[in-house]
Structure 1
Amino acid sequence: MIALKMASAIHTLRDHRDDVNCCAFSATLLASCSGDKTVRVYSLNDFSELRFSPLSGHGYGVHWCCFSSCGNYLASCSTDATVIIWSMDTGEIMLKYEHPGRSPVRVCALTPDSSLVLSGASDGTVALWDFQSTTLRRTGAVTEATVAACSFTPCGQMFVTGCTLGDLKIWDLDLVQLHTQKDAHDLGVTCCQCDSISHIDGERVKFRLVSCGQDSQLKIWIISQHAVAGCHMQLLHTLKAQSGPVVSCAFSSDGQLVVSGSVDKTVTLYDGSQGVLLHTLSQHERYVTACAFSPSLPYLASGSMDNTVIVWRLGDGLSAEAPAAVCQGRKCAGHSGLLVSDWAEEHVAAWLAEEGLEELVSAFKGHNIDGPELLSLTRDTLARELSIDSVGLRGKVMRKIEELRAALVGSAAPDEFLCPITQEVMKDPVIAADGFSYEREAMESWIGAKNRTSPMTNLPLQTTLLIPNRMLKMAIGRWRATQ
C-alpha cells in the first residue's frame, strides 16, 4: 500500500450558491452538485470550469451525481423526481428518467458497464432503467423510509440500498431481496458504496461495502455471494474517529483507502483493509456532506454546507519506492493503470507534473500531445516543434519517454484484455449480463451449452444478450499495435 505521508488542499472551488450535496470524479473531470439546482463540471488539468458548466436542467436541488465508467456521461438526480444523463462532450441532456410516483429522488447509480440506471426515492421506492432506451425495467418499494443510499456490486448483478430507518439491503436486478442487515446504523444510513474489486474464494464471490450513518460511525462489511448458500454480510470494521453523524463515504478505486465526511466538519482517511485512521482533514467551515476519490490521480474531493468543494492531493512527498500501477495482479505500462498508448492529453499533463516537469505542461497541451504522440517524440521534435531550448531539459524528457517505451514493450497484456473463459487476449469482446467482458465466440459457446449462469460469479444471467464492447476492442487494438 502507498504510504500516506500527508494530504494537502490544492484547490478550493467556490462557485455553488448553496450546500454541496455530492461530488464525483472521472479520469479527467470533477463534478459537484448542489441545492442551488446546478451541477458544475471542472477539468482536472487546472480545475477550470468547463465551457458548458453549470448544468441547469433540474428544477429543484440536486442531491447526487456520478459518472459512467467511461467518463463520457454524468448522471444527476433531484427533488424534481428526475434522473438526468448529461453528455460530457457537449453538456447537453442525453436522457431523462422520471421516477414513478414523482417522488423526490435522493440517490442514483450506474452499473459498472453503464447499461442500467438506478434511482432511489423519498417514498421508499427504487426504479431500474435501461440506460440506452430509457425503458423502465423494474420498480418497487424496498423500505418504509427514504432510500438514502444505493450502490451496484462490482459484477453489476446486484445492488445495495440504505434507508433512513438504518437498514442495509441487498437486491438482485429483479428486485428480489437477497439479504437484510437490520439496524446497520442506528438512526439511519446516510451513504454506502461497494468496493470496485471483487474476489473469488472457491465458489463464493466476495467484495466489501462501506457504509455510514447518523450514529457517527463508519462501517466496512464483507459481502459474500454463493449460488446455493445465498448472500451474507459480515462486519469487518467499525470506525468511530468522527464526533458527529457521518454523512458521506467512499472507497478509493484500488480499495486501499476509505474516506468519510461528517457533521463535525472533518474529512477522515482510513486504511481500507486494516481500518486504521491515517489522517483527519479539518478545513471546511460547516458540515462535510460529500467526498470522493479520483480514479486516476492522487486526488480527493470533499464538499460541504459551506458551499465549497476542496480538492486534496494525497501522499505529497511520496517516496520513489511507491509501487507501479497494478491492474488485477498484472503490471500495466502507464499512468493510472492505463497503457501509455491510451493516454489522453490530461494523462500526459498529469505524468509531466508527477515527473517534476510542470513547466512543460502548457507546451504539451498547446500541441495536443496525447499518449501515442508522446511515445513518438524525439529530441529534434522537442526542440523544433515544442521549442524546448534547454539541452538538459530535452535529455531529461527523452529519458522519461524511453522509460515509458521500455515498460510498454515489456508489459504483459493487462488482465482486462483477457477473456475470463479462454484466458487469451480478446479479438471481439462483448459485455454479458453479469457486467464482465468475454470473447464473443467463447461466450456464445458457453451459452450454447445451456449454461445460464455467469462464468465469473455462478449467478443466473438475466439475459443472454451480448453487447459489443467497442471501447475495449479499440484499447486492445492500440495495445497490439505497440507489441
Structure 2
Amino acid sequence: MVKLIHTLADHGDDVNCCAFSFSLLATCSLDKTIRLYSLHDFTELPHSPLKFHTYAVHCCCFSPSGHILASCSTDGTTVLWNTENGQMLAVMEQPSGSPVRVCQFSPDSRCLTSGAADGTVVLWNAQSYKLYRCGSVKDGSLAACAFSPNGSFFVTGSSCGDLTVWDDKMRCLHSEKAHDLGITCCDFSSQPVSDGEQGLQFFRLASCGQDCQVKIWIVSFTHILGFELKYKSAMSGHCAPVLACAFSHDGQMLVSGSVDKSVIVYDTNTESILHTLTQHTRYVTTCAFAPNTLLLATGSMDKTVNIWQFDLETLCQARSTEDQLKQFTEDWSEEDVSTWLCAQDLKDLVGIFKMNNIDGKELLNLTKESLADDLKIDSLGLRSKVLRKIEELRTKVKSLSSGIPDEFICPITRELMKDPVIASGMCDAILSCRGCFVLNE
C-alpha cells in the first residue's frame, strides 16, 4: 500500500522540516542549510544547498506557486529564495531578534508569517518584504502556524499548549488550551467545507503536541457569527510526544511523526490507522504530503528524509466499501461499478452494466425509466433494489460534497441543524432539529 522509494541523506545534522511544491522538495536542518530536490528523480538541484543562515534552520515552506521558498532560523531571520536559481530575494529580521521557529505563506502568497521563540508573531508583506503587523502570544514560544484554506485567518501553536487564532489584521480572535506540555505542529485540511445556503464555512484543523496526542478540531468563521473552534476527536497510536502532523492534499489522510521514531498514516474519515512506518532510527521531526502526487516525505534526527509512495488502487481496496463510496464514486471506472454491484449482491447485473458502459457518473444518474427502457431490466423487484442502492449512494455522495461535520447534522433528518435543541429519549440526550423535537412531542 505504501512503499519507501528513496532516502535522502545529504544533511550533516538533524532534519527539522520538509516541504513540497508541485515539482520540488525542500529540506532544512540543524546543519544551517536548505536543500532542494527535483521530484522527477530526487536529484539535488545544481544551486542546492542554499546557504545564508548562521544557525540551525527550523522551518521551510513554498509559496503556493512554488517559485519562492521561505526559511527561518535561530539566527532571528526569515529568508526568501528564488527556487529556480537559488538567488536570495530578501532577509527579514524578527523585530525582537528572537530565534524564528516557524514560517508560513498565506494561500494567496501575499503574506508570510514568522513565529519566534519569545512568542512574537509577525505578518510580513511577501511582495514588498516589509513588516505589516506584529503580535505576541501571552505565554510560551511559537512552534506551529497554519493558514486557513481561504486565508481569512491563521492559527499559531505555542509551547505552553495554546492554539491562538488571528485574523488577517493580526487581531486575536480566539485562544484555547489544546495540548498539555505544549504544541509542536498544526495543519489545516486544504479542502474547506461550506454550506451554500447558510454561508457557513467549516475547516478541519489537526494539532499535535508533547502530550503524545494528535487532535482534530472543527473551525468555523463568519463575519456575522464570529469564530468557533470545536474539539472533535483525538487520534491514538503514538506512545511518545508527537512532533509533526500534516493532511494530504485531498484531506483524506493525516500523517504524524513522533519521538517514538514512528510515522502513522490515518484515514481522516474513519480515524483508523492505515499504516505505521518505522524505518527512521531516531525521532521523526517532520512530515509532508506532495500536493499533486501520492508522495509523502518524512524527516528525522537520523539526518535522513524518506520518500514514500502510496498505491492508490491498494489504498482503495484497503478501505471499507462505505469509505470508497464516499470518496471516489463520481470518478469510478466501469470496473469500480462492477465491484460495487457485487458488494450489493447485484452481481447478476454486472454484464448488463458493462455492456452499457456504466461508470460512476452514469451510475448516479440512473432512473427507474433508464433501468427499464435502456438497460432492459425486466424484473420490478430487481429495478427497485438497484434504485434503493443508488439512492443510498447519492445520499452518501451528497454528504461528502457538503462536507459538513457530522456533529452539525441532525441525527434524525440528516439535515444541517439551523435551530437545534436537546431532545431527551429513553437512552441518551441528543442534539437535533427543533422540527424533529416538535414532531416527536
Normalised TM-score (structure 2): 0.71
Give the superposition deviation at 1:316: 6.6
Find the partner of 2:101 among 102, 106, 130.
106
Inter-partner Cα distance in structure 1 for 2:137 and 2:27? 28
Find the partner of 1:263 among 243, 259, 264.
259
Find the partner of 2:78 among 83, 92, 109.
83
Inter-partner Cα distance in structure 1 for 2:315 and 2:154? 38
Aligned partners of 1:7 and 1:316 also within 8 Å: no
Aligned partners of 1:120 and 1:126 also within 8 Å: yes
**Paired residue for 1:188?**
182
2:305 paired with 1:309: yes
2:294 paired with 1:298: yes
Greater strand fraction, Structure 1 or Structure 2: 2
Secondary structure in 2 aligned to 1:318?
Answer: helix
1:105-133 superposed Cα distances (whole Å, 9 cap, x missing partner): 00000001110010000010000111110
Find the partner of 2:279 among 267, 283, 298.
283
- Structure 1 outlier segments of 4+, above 3 Å: 316-324
Amino acid aligned to 2:157: G
Amino acid aligned to 2:258: S
Give 1:330-479 correspondences, 5 Å limit. none
Give the superposition deviation at 1:179: 1.4
1:164-187 superposed Cα distances (whole Å, 9 cap, x missing partner): 0001011112221111222x1110
**Paired residue for 2:366?**
none
- Going from structure 1 to structure 2, the CA distance change for 1:93 and 1:296 (only over 3 Å counts) comes to same
Gaps of 5+ in 2: 332-441
1:419-472 superposed Cα distances (whole Å, 9 cap, x missing partner): xxxxxxxxxxxxxxxxxxxxxxxxxxxxxxxxxxxxxxxxxxxxxxxxxxxxxx
Find the partner of 2:130 among 132, 135, 160.
135
Gaps of 5+ in 1: 1-5, 332-483
Aligned partners of 1:106 and 1:147 also within 8 Å: yes
Find the partner of 1:121 among 91, 116, 120.
116
Give the superposition deviation at 1:318: 3.5
Secondary structure in 1 aligned to 2:96?
Answer: helix
Secondary structure in 2 aligned to 1:100?
Answer: coil
Inter-partner Cα distance in structure 2 for 1:225 and 1:71? 28
Aligned partners of 2:123 and 2:170 also within 8 Å: no
Aligned partners of 1:286 and 1:305 also within 8 Å: yes
Inter-partner Cα distance in structure 1 for 2:11 and 2:43? 14
Find the partner of 1:199 among 193, 217, 231.
193
**Paired residue for 2:237?**
241
1:135-174 superposed Cα distances (whole Å, 9 cap, x missing partner): 2110121232101101111111210010000010111122
Structure possessing the higher radius of gyration over alpha carbons: 2
1:222-264 superposed Cα distances (whole Å, 9 cap, x missing partner): 1011222211111222012011000000000110100000000
**Paired residue for 1:432?**
none
1:290-329 superposed Cα distances (whole Å, 9 cap, x missing partner): 00001111110000000000001112763899999xx9x9
Give 1:213-232 correspondences, 5 Å limit. 213-232=209-228
Aligned partners of 1:169 and 1:179 also within 8 Å: yes
Give the superposition deviation at 1:195: 1.3
Give the superposition deviation at 1:274: 2.2
- Compare 312-321 and 12-21 and name the one that shifted more: 312-321
**Paired residue for 2:397?**
none
1:309-353 superposed Cα distances (whole Å, 9 cap, x missing partner): 0001112763899999xx9x997xxxxxxxxxxxxxxxxxxxxxx
Aligned partners of 1:13 and 1:308 also within 8 Å: yes
2:154 paired with 1:159: yes
Find the partner of 2:206 among 187, 205, 210.
210
2:248 paired with 1:252: yes
Identical columns (%): 51
Aligned partners of 1:143 and 1:163 also within 8 Å: no
- Going from structure 1 to structure 2, the CA distance change for 1:167 and 1:319 (only over 3 Å counts) comes to closer
2:119 paired with 1:92: no
**Paired residue for 1:31?**
26
Aligned partners of 2:266 and 2:274 also within 8 Å: yes
Aligned partners of 1:191 and 1:211 also within 8 Å: yes
